[in-house]
Chain A
Amino acid sequence: MSPIIEIKNITKEFKVLNRREGLKGSLKDLFSRDYKTVRAVDNISMSIEQGEIVGYLGPNGAGKSTTIKMMTGVLEPTSGEILVSGCVPYQNRTKNAQEIGVVFGQRSQLWWSLPLIESFRILKDIYQIPDADYDSILTLYKSLVDIEPLLHKPVRQMSLGQRTLSDILAAFLHNPKIVFLDEPTIGLDVSMKSKIRTLIQALNREKHTTVILTTHDMGDVDALCERIVIIDKGRMLYDNDIEHLKRFFGSYRTLRLRIGGDLKAHAASLQTALPECTVSADEEWISVLIDESKANVPDVLAQIQAAHTIRDLQLQEIATEDVIRKIYEEGVQ
């Protein structure tokens, strides 16, 4: 089977005006032709198969959105080739639009003052979805989430979580081959996050839709993606399955504890008690870095609790930024 998205050595450069400072500088800028070229995406290649869920990670400003805009056809690459389901997206934007769905985290494509069902009907007409397909996808939606109360509610009265959910449903409505989700769980609470993850997974399974997901939340990645692409400063750092990556950020978690007394001394004694973990202390907290392949969190916690009274504790996941730093430090592949 040929890949649904095929990217070969694409590069995207932006021309940015060199801004000067102060009032005088701003006035000069009005007539300035002094541009510098910024390379937002630098020689990236990848190929994505139909039905994959790909996590697209990178810190802010890494070039994730730029790549996605090139895949959707909003931007034209400076060099390199890009094929989305057999055609060049920026040359056939309107045709390409029929094959893709998008959700951009904070922005909604829904009609603000209309009930959700009206937005669905409009989209049905715009995308020219046949009645039978429309009915069957609504039935599918009803079996996956409880949308009945949402359907008749104007979008502006929805909570952020409900709106994101609705936006995702709207993106899948015309049965696109690919759906781009740009930070879909940003700003949502834990239960809504998990609801949305379940939904994305179910839609991917039912419709065999390719999903490209950008996120900062390692939880999204863990729950959804089998394959991960990481970019930073426009360059590809990593493209492989999640298991492979886990060996690097491991299944590490940091347990942070607040206990009374001399922290340095406690830390030293804990270190001898827990040889498989790394214990350190600062002014307020004792941090225990746990490698979950060797020890599990409840056991470690129980061990500490036996010796000390814990006043407060935090459990930290490794963030994308840490993963990238780790990749930089240790190298992958």
Chain B
Amino acid sequence: MKLKKYLTLTRAGIIESLQYRLSTFVMVIGNLLYLIVVYFLWRAIYNSADSDVVNGMTFYDTLIYLVLATALYGFMEIYAVWEMGRAIQSGKIVLDLLKPMEYRSHLFWSYSGTFIVNFIATFLPTFLVVAIVTHGTIHFGLNLLFFVISVVFAVSINYSIDFLVGTICLYTESIWGINIMKQMVVLLLSGATIPLAFFPDTLRTVVSYLPFQSIYNAPLTLLLNGTPDPQEVLRTIGTQIIWCIVMMLLSKGFWKVSLRQITVNGG
């Protein structure tokens, strides 16, 4: 009964996102164009390099990594910051606050349907195409299971970061700049645009202590590693779980404090 309250939002989200078929197509085309750019850029990088293997990755390793990162981005980026910013600016947030449910959960579960649709509509096809085209480079085994578990935590961490940034809108009432900055920071530091292996050592050390690499780097590494070392898997997923909890508490706390600030001082 309790769970039904949330799952009904998932169901609504699925139906709603299926209404906008055209937008899904356009998104797929947009991603394709981006991938073409990525292909030629990295082709050029590898051509000018002395050896076939750069930073421990071959051209195909890099390409597979980046294609899947794009696909992952396509399904995880839910523009929650925009949604919150719009709701705050238009005052619609009052209606959401008056649902018998925490706003954070309400927003997350409203999006959960979109996650599922996007995963099936954009990530799965891309993954299958990559797997078929590269013929055997991706290992089909336990790594798939680790990947799925890892993605669940990645979604949660990503959402917490979005929610944290969205909360800032309560103070600024403007979203554009903050959101662009958030996107850039996440995309760069998570390894979604450049594999972390290519980062200079110092930066890579810094990044390894930040939550962002748990979003893209962690699940992709687990997926592409055909012979997973149990300790390595445990460490990666363990780090994710810790970040998941930390970010959740942080975003919940910040929201609570901010909302109180707003209800006390008005807005």
Which residues 84-137 of A have a CB within 8 angstroms of B? 90, 93-95, 97-98, 100, 102, 104, 107, 109, 111-114, 118, 121-122, 125-128
Chain B, residue nearest A100 (CB): B98
| Given A94-B100, A114-B12, A127-B100, A107 contacting B90 (CB threshold 8 A) | yes
Which residues on A sit within 8 Å (CB–CB) of B99?
97, 126
The answer to whether B16 touches A75, judged by C-beta atoms less than 8 angstroms apart, is no
Q: When the two chains form the complex, which single residue of B8, B95, B102 contacts A94, counting CB atoms closer than 8 Å?
A: B102
- Asked if B125 is at the interface (CB within 8 A of a chain A CB), the reply is no
Closest to B7 in A: A125
Asked if B56 is at the interface of the complex by the 8 Å CB criterion, the answer is no
B123, chain A: closest CB distance, angstroms: 23
Q: Tell me the nearest residue of chain A to B93, going by C-beta.
A: A74
The residue on B at minimum CB distance from A14 is B266
Say yes or no: A90 contacts B16, CB within 8 Å: no
Indicate if B253 sits at the interface (CB-CB under 8 A): no
Q: A107-B91, A122-B9, A128-B5 are in contact. Are A72 and B98 (CB under 8 A)?
A: yes
**Bound Cα distance from A14 to B267, whole angstroms:** 8
User: Whole-angstrom distance between the alpha carbons of A48 and B267 in the complex?
Assistant: 27
Determine which of B4, B7, B97 lies in contact with A93 in the assembled complex, contact meaning CB atoms within 8 Å.
B97
Known contacts A122-B8, A128-B5; is A75 also within 8 Å of B95 by CB? Answer: no
Separation of A90 and B265 alpha carbons in the complex (Å) = 13
Interface size on A, residues (CB 8 A): 36
A contact residues around B20 at 8 Å (CB) = 113
**Bound CA–CA A279/B18 (angstroms):** 64
A333–B15 Cα distance when bound, in Å, is: 56
Q: Is B249 interfacial (CB-CB < 8 Å)? A: no
Minimum CB–CB distance from A1 to chain B (whole Å) comes to 25
Q: Which of A134-170 contact B (CB under 8 A)?
A: 154
- Fill in one digit per residue for A50-76: 1 if any B CB lies within 8 Å of its CB, else 0: 000000000000000010010011111
Q: Cβ of B94: which chain A residues have Cβ within 8 Å of it?
A: 69, 72, 74, 102, 104
Residues of B within 8 A of A72 (CB): 94, 98
| Chain B residues positioned under 8 Å from A69 (CB to CB) | 94
Say yes or no: A128-B1 contact (C-beta < 8 A), given A90-B263, A104-B94: yes
Asked whether, in the complex, the Cβ of A75 is within 8 Å of the Cβ of B1, the reply is: no
Interface assignment of B44: CB less than 8 Å from any CB of chain A: no
| Interface check A24, CB cutoff 8 A | no
A111 — nearest CB in chain B belongs to which residue?
Answer: B12
Question: Is B95 a contact of A125 with CB atoms below 8 Å?
Answer: no
| Chain A interface residues toward B at CB < 8 A | 12-15, 40, 66, 69, 72-76, 78, 90, 93-95, 97-98, 100, 102, 104, 107, 109, 111-114, 118, 121-122, 125-128, 154
Q: 19 pairs across A/B with beta carbons < 8 Å?
A: A14-B265, A14-B266, A15-B266, A69-B94, A73-B98, A74-B94, A74-B97, A75-B266, A76-B260, A76-B263, A97-B99, A107-B92, A111-B12, A114-B15, A114-B16, A118-B12, A125-B5, A126-B9, A128-B5
17 A-B pairs besides A14-B266, A126-B100 with CB distance below 8 A are A14-B265, A40-B266, A72-B94, A76-B260, A90-B263, A93-B97, A93-B98, A97-B101, A104-B91, A107-B95, A109-B95, A111-B16, A112-B16, A118-B15, A121-B8, A125-B4, A125-B8
